[in-house]
A and B are shown apart, each in its own frame.
Chain A
Amino acid sequence: MAIYKRGYRTYSGPLTRERWRFLVLTRYAWRTIFQSRLLTAFFVFSFFYPLGALLAIYLNGNATILSLLHQSSELLVVGNKFFSVFIAVQGTFAFFIAAFIGPGLVAPDLANGALPLYLGRPFSRADYVLGKMMVLFGLLSFVTWLPGLLLFAAQAGVAGHGWIWDNLWLARAIFLGSLIWILILSLLALALSAWVKWKVAAAALMLGIFFLGAGFGQAINLILRTKQGTLTDIGNLMRVVWHDLFRIERHAFDFPPTEAWIMLILICCGCLALLAKKLRPHEVVR
Chain B
Amino acid sequence: MTDNASYSRRISFDDVSKFYGDVLGVNRVTLSIPPGITSLVGPNGSGKTTLMNLMTGLIRPTRGSVRVFGISSSDPERFFREVGYCTQFDTFPRGMTGYQFVYSFLRLYGCTALEADELTWRSIERVNLVEAAHRKIAAYSKGMRQRIKLAQATCHGPSVLVLDEPLNGLDPLVRAETIALFKVLAEDGMHVILSSHVLHEVDAISDQVIMLSNGYVVAEGQIRSVRSEIREHPMQIVVRCRKPAEVAAKLFEQEQVVEARVHGDGRGLLVKTRDADSFYRLLNKIALNGVGIEAVAPADDDANSVYEYLIGSEETAR
* Cβ 8 A contact of A8, one of B56, B83, B189: B189
Stretch at the interface among B88-96, B233-241, B285-293, B297-305: B88-96
Shortest A281–chain B CB gap in Å is: 4
Residue B35 at the A interface, CB < 8 A?
Answer: yes
Chain A residue at minimum C-beta to C-beta distance from B104: A28
- Count of interface residues, chain B, beta-carbon cutoff 8 Å: 58
Taking CB atoms and an 8 Å cut-off, the chain A residues in 88-124 that contact chain B are 108-109, 112-124
Contact A282:B58 (CB < 8 A) given known A3-B36, A11-B119: yes
Interface of A is mostly: loop
Binary flags per residue of A1-42, CB closer than 8 Å to B gives 1, else 0: 111111111111111101001001100100010000000000
Contact A8:B157 (CB < 8 A) given known A15-B111, A286-B45: yes
Using CB atoms and an 8 Å cutoff, list the residues of chain B in contact with chain A.
1, 6, 20, 23, 25, 34-36, 44-45, 49-50, 53, 56-59, 76-77, 79-85, 87-95, 104-105, 107-112, 115, 119, 152, 156-159, 164, 186-189, 207-208, 222
| B91 contacts A112, C-beta separation under 8 Å | yes
Chain A residue at minimum C-beta to C-beta distance from B115: A13
* Cβ 8 A contact of A3, one of B6, B44, B59: B6
| B188 contacts A1, C-beta separation under 8 Å | no
| B58 contacts A116, C-beta separation under 8 Å | yes
| A11 contacts B56, C-beta separation under 8 Å | no
Residue A283 at the B interface, CB < 8 A?
Answer: yes
| A117 contacts B110, C-beta separation under 8 Å | no
- Count of interface residues, chain A, beta-carbon cutoff 8 Å: 42
* Cβ 8 A contact of B110, one of A21, A109, A120, A283: A21
Residues in B neighbouring A5, C-beta threshold 8 A: 189
| B188 contacts A7, C-beta separation under 8 Å | yes
A-B contact pairs, 25 of them (CB 8 A): A3-B34, A4-B35, A4-B186, A4-B188, A8-B157, A10-B157, A15-B77, A24-B107, A112-B92, A113-B91, A114-B91, A116-B53, A117-B85, A117-B87, A117-B152, A120-B56, A120-B58, A120-B80, A120-B83, A120-B85, A122-B77, A124-B76, A282-B49, A282-B59, A285-B49
Residues in B neighbouring A14, C-beta threshold 8 A: 112, 115
Residues in B neighbouring A113, C-beta threshold 8 A: 87, 89, 91
| B88 contacts A283, C-beta separation under 8 Å | yes
| A4 contacts B87, C-beta separation under 8 Å | no
| B222 contacts A6, C-beta separation under 8 Å | no
| B207 contacts A2, C-beta separation under 8 Å | yes
Shortest B87–chain A CB gap in Å is: 5
Residues in B neighbouring A122, C-beta threshold 8 A: 76-77, 79-80, 109-110
* Cβ 8 A contact of A16, one of B34, B59, B82, B110: B110
Chain A residue at minimum C-beta to C-beta distance from B53: A282
A25 to B93, CA, bound (A): 11
| B36 contacts A4, C-beta separation under 8 Å | yes
Chain A residue at minimum C-beta to C-beta distance from B94: A108
